[in-house]
Amino acid sequence: MPDLGSELSRLRDAHLYRSRRVLNGPQGPRPVIDGRRRLAFCSNDYLGLANHPDVVAALKRGADAYGAGSGAAHLVSGHSAAHQALEEELADFVGRPRALLFSTGYMANLGVLSALAGHGDQVIEDRLNHASLLDGALLSRARLRRYPHTDMRALTRMLEDGQARIVATDGVFSMDGDLAPLPDLARAARDAGAWLMVDDAHGLGVLGREGRGSTDHFGLDPARVPILVGTLGKAFGTFGAFVAGSEELIETLIQRARSYIYTTAPPPALAEATRMSLAIARRESWRREHLTELIRRFRSAAAGLGLALTASSTPIQPLVAGSAARALAWSRTLEQAGILVPAIRPPTVPEGSARLRISFSAAHTEQDLARLLDALAALGEREAA
């Protein structure tokens, strides 16, 4: 039998072992974790909607109306009126004819890529894409080719043979916070006769008009980005994912996406909660405005402290440490000050680029930001000593 214990010991020795924490209460900027209240800068709840009272109330009403579970797959008897309404509202939100709900973003990406590509095709992806995009291409049995991060010259060379079926990219890269060069990608994919697929998990709700995401931020219409994937557990504060596109795309996924066909539909109550969070996100522009101001102030102050941030204008603000050991040490020092920013280490990020992934929420205050900056300043002084 394989010696699993030795492999776990190796991970510990390499500072790559991961441990879970227990959240004692609702999500928010000051959660109680492992019995201790902390100031957290690590959630993807970018708009502060995960514990919004109206969203919670909608979830309760949904449970009263539909019960706790959906009971079956969408194609059997699990597709409720709540699911249908949410799909229609999401399609309207992103300006596309149809949207299709999936249980998770991982399942959405696996479903799309395995349904649309296969043996003999090529799927070309950014090297720093989310694992679900990479795994989806592998599951499809197409040839997966990866170009260096945002390197359009390398991508163009890969497209020259005309074999690419899909060019897939994150809209906002989850560990770096930077945006994909979507206009250039759209042009290159169109010229090569390939579909452009954008996973906008970290852009929707945050970027563009009403938070319509990175494609809206760049002014790209559905013809230039025919496949759009979004998640609901980040800026919208609930759970699940969707794919939006043409009538033909959605009907194809209903017929062929295995991760849609062969799984139980999400609880309808979650769909009701998401309908409420989507409505709040669209009408309360102050959330994005406050978030943008927090990010601007943080980056300005961080520059004054000499912190080596990556080039990100999104809520994801990585502070690169280099080694996993150093990133862990930084995280532990901040935690001693009552601030939670977990270390991100390989294989989540490339070797030598372990980091603190600082993420902001509209629920953070100016006082929260000041406390974080004071702790980072102290961390810098400790490093210099």
> What is d(CA 276, CA 341) in angstroms, rounded to the nearest whole number?
29
- Would residue 174 show up in a list of annotated catalytic residues for this protein? yes
Asked whether the whole model's pTM tops 0.85, one would answer: yes
The answer to whether 233 and 103 are in contact (CB under 8 A) is no
Strands 122-126, 143-147: pairing is: parallel
Q: What is the CA radius of gyration of the chain?
A: 21
Residue pLDDT, tens place only, 326-340: 999 999 999 999 999
- Would residue 60 show up in a list of annotated catalytic residues for this protein? no
Q: In order of start, what are the domains of the chain with their CATH numbers? A: 4-51+285-384 (3.90.1150.10), 53-283 (3.40.640.10)
Integer CA distances (angstroms), 104 to 4, 116, 150, 159, in order: 29, 18, 26, 30
Which residue in 83, 202, 217, 364 is the catalytic one? Answer: 202
- Taking residues 183-194, report their average pLDDT: 97
For 143, other C-beta atoms within 10 Å of its C-beta total 17
Identify the pLDDT of residue 19.
87
- Taking residues 126-133, report their average pLDDT: 97
> What is d(CA 88, CA 136) in angstroms, rounded to the nearest whole number?
26
- Would residue 234 show up in a list of annotated catalytic residues for this protein? yes
The answer to whether 327 and 344 are in contact (CB under 8 A) is yes
> What is d(CA 76, CA 205) in angstroms, rounded to the nearest whole number?
31
Q: Which residues pair with 23 in a beta bridge?
A: 33
The answer to whether 100 and 259 are in contact (CB under 8 A) is no
Identify the pLDDT of residue 16.
87
Identify the pLDDT of residue 123.
98
Q: Counting Cβ atoms within 10 Å, is residue 301 exposed (0-12), middle (13-18) or buried (19+)?
A: middle
Query: What letter would DSSP give residue 90?
Result: H
Which residue in 74, 217, 234, 290 is the catalytic one? Answer: 234
- What's the mean pLDDT when you consider all of the chain? 95
